[in-house]
Structure 1
Amino acid sequence: MNDTILILGACGQIGTELTQKLRALYGRDNVIASDIREGNQEMMSSGPFEIIDATSKERIFEVVEKYKVTQVYLMVAMLSATAEKHPLKGWDLNMTSLLAVLELAREKHIQKVYWPSSMASFGPTSPKINTPQQTIMEPSTVYGISKVAGEHWCNYYHEKYGVDVRSIRYPGIISWKTLPGGGTTDYAVDIYFDAIKNGTYECFLSENTRLPMMYMDDAINATIQIMQADADKIKTRTSYNLAAISFTPKEIAAEIKKHIPEFEISYKPDFRQAIADSWPQIIDDSHARKDWGWQHKFDLTSMTNDIVTSLKALEKQKLEEV
């Protein structure tokens, strides 16, 4: 593998784990991590790191030239809940960073681009069950609006200029290694931490709010898989639906109780409930499975077992270090 990869937004929830996986695959010196500020110790010590404002095309270009970058993973985004509080900042960050990278690809400075979309690109009028690859998309959040616009910009640059840009519509992503960054599905991460630490959790969504979710390991594998696929297998240049599991807060709490019987959950829906209600409950990702062989590995049971085991081991390690 002769590619040199630049990850923009490497310190985010997905970017942190994606960086380590790509460095393991391509070699530490061939994966340049970057963000607006420095990352954790593992990030900084495991390979090259550059401070980059992803809205600055000039700064991205400097780093692309310095390292002879061939691929860019643009993981920068202001997520749904945060962007609702800062709509213009959310729009500016999400769109300016994408257009900067697409322009560099159009100018032939980059050979291949990855940009993540989201199930937030769907809206209240989209079908909620088995949401198809192509359907009505009328999002009601700034984050969703920016993702729909971004999808069409990706397709435009591919059709007009031949840019090899690839994209996935992520469901909610769950990880125990990295804290979430202001999304509406964050409860499904927070619930595990609070269950281990306190034995209780107050959920900001109602108990029967069903949303599409995915364990981080599956999300990382899908991201790398679509980028490694032959170009002729990528039939969709807006963004591919991606799915693994769908569950409610009540169902995830029941699964946690199998490991922590004393765990208790309460519900206090806030402004994020309206966002969640506008999103799909189950997504049809048959196009990704057919075109480039996507398959998920983790269901709710195996994911919960992995997370609870890992967090308990982490807590034990902390106690031993005290």
Structure 2
Amino acid sequence: MTRALVIGATGQIGYELVPALRKLYGPDNVVAGYHFKKPTGKLLEGPIELVDVTSRESVEAAVKKYDVDEVYNLAALLSAAGEKNPQLAWRVNLIGHYNVLELAREYKFRVFWPSTIAVFGPTTPRDNTPQHTIIEPITMYGITKYAGELLARYYVYKYDLDVRGVRWPGIISSEALPGGGTTDYAVEIFYYAIEGKPYTCYLREDTELPMMYMPDALKSVVDLMKANKSKLKLFVGYNVAAFSFTPKQLEEEIRKYIPSLKVNYKPDFRQKIADSWPRSIDDSVAREEWGWKPDWTFEAMVKDMLVKIASKLGREIHLD
């Protein structure tokens, strides 16, 4: 049975990826690696381990202790958080990535390492952004992730390692709250809507960005890691898409069910970041190489989020 270590397990994606992998591999075979934030809830239903990705020794100790076959390195400072502390973002996002790759070279485990649409910049074509295009990121997050893509691909071809990854758009989740991203509004607004509070959005109402519902984000991990290695050419940095929308479109979709929702728009420093990102993504390479296909539409995501957030907050909501 495969044994996996998830580094950054207490983050937005790790919190849901760990249970998903435990369903596949068994609860005892997936280790939730954490650092700043202690595991809670579902993460405690299997082994947990303190892992500092910036320390090779810390990662190596966990790899050896659990004799892992796969490492999912989700540890990262995201776009907005990375701009507040770019030096730490460099250490976590890139030095941490290098540590995992070096250990993979020694211990021969497979690696999943996600990239992001933040690798794109203001010179990138913003509509239907292709897999191969101009890439000039303007955030430390984007810089470290693009450098990380190149580094991972180097290790694949230089050392014949099995390293895989996707470029995620904004991720929307009903479980864990986001932290430090530019697309966090798309989760926050649901809580305000259900609690009957006015929401102040930090992006312009017409800011269109690619997004994805968490079940599809998890699906992209599982599908890519299951794919036949011989069919992969890119290995890391695959564009994956689901849907795009603006804050205003999300507001209007939620108001179909909660007409009282009020949203104000007061752009802050995150607007400049969002303006440098694509409006929509061409994911044809992922579709061709490993059969990527999302399951969730924008409208279905909104309804599901409302039901799940309402339940989480102990509120009743009627969507008929």
**TM-score range with shorter-chain normalisation?**
over 0.9
Q: Distance in 1 between matches of 2:169 and 2:74?
A: 15
Q: Distance in 2 between matches of 1:197 and 1:215?
A: 22
Q: Distance in 1 between matches of 2:158 and 2:276?
A: 32
Report whether the alignment pairs 1:11 with 2:10.
yes
CA drift of 1:200 comes to 2.0
Equivalent residues of 1:174, 1:189 under 8 A apart:
yes
CA drift of 1:52 comes to 0.8
RMSD: 1.1
Q: Which residue of 1 aligns with 2:84?
A: 85
Q: 5+ unaligned residues in a row in structure 2: which ranges?
A: none
Report whether the alignment pairs 1:115 with 2:106.
no
Report whether the alignment pairs 1:41 with 2:41.
yes
Please, which of 168, 175, 178 is the counterpart of residue 176 of structure 2? 178
Q: Which residue of 1 aligns with 2:57?
A: 58
Secondary structure of 1:13's match?
coil
What is the number of equivalent residue pairs in this alignment?
A: 315
Q: Distance in 2 between matches of 1:291 and 1:170?
A: 17
Equivalent residues of 1:288, 1:294 under 8 A apart:
yes
Q: Which residue of 2 aligns with 1:160?
A: 158
Q: 1:105 to 1:245 in 2, by over 3 A?
A: same
Equivalent residues of 2:196, 2:260 under 8 A apart:
no
Greater shift after overlay, 33-42 or 141-150? 33-42
Q: Which residue of 2 aligns with 1:263?
A: 261
Residue type of the partner of 1:228?
K
Q: Which residue of 1 aligns with 2:141?
A: 143
What does the per-residue CA deviation read over 1:190-211, in whole Å, with 9 as the maximum and x for residues that have no partner? 1111111134211000000000
Q: Which residue of 1 aligns with 2:307?
A: 309
Q: Distance in 2 between matches of 1:142 and 1:56?
A: 20
Please, which of 188, 191, 194 is the counterpart of residue 193 of structure 1? 191
Greater shift after overlay, 55-64 or 21-30? 55-64
Q: Distance in 1 between matches of 2:71 and 2:289?
A: 22
CA drift of 1:172 comes to 0.2
Q: Which residue of 2 aligns with 1:230?
A: 228
Secondary structure of 1:312's match?
helix
Equivalent residues of 1:199, 1:262 under 8 A apart:
no
CA drift of 1:106 comes to 1.1
What does the per-residue CA deviation read over 1:224-274, in whole Å, with 9 as the maximum and x for residues that have no partner? 110111111222134100100000000000100011011111100000000
CA drift of 1:128 comes to 0.1
TM-score, normalised by the number of residues in structure 1: 0.96
Equivalent residues of 2:194, 2:315 under 8 A apart:
no
Calculate percent identity across the aligned residue pairs: 49
Q: Distance in 1 between matches of 2:286 and 2:137?
A: 22
Q: 1:127 to 1:255 in 2, by over 3 A?
A: same
TM-score, normalised by the number of residues in structure 2: 0.96
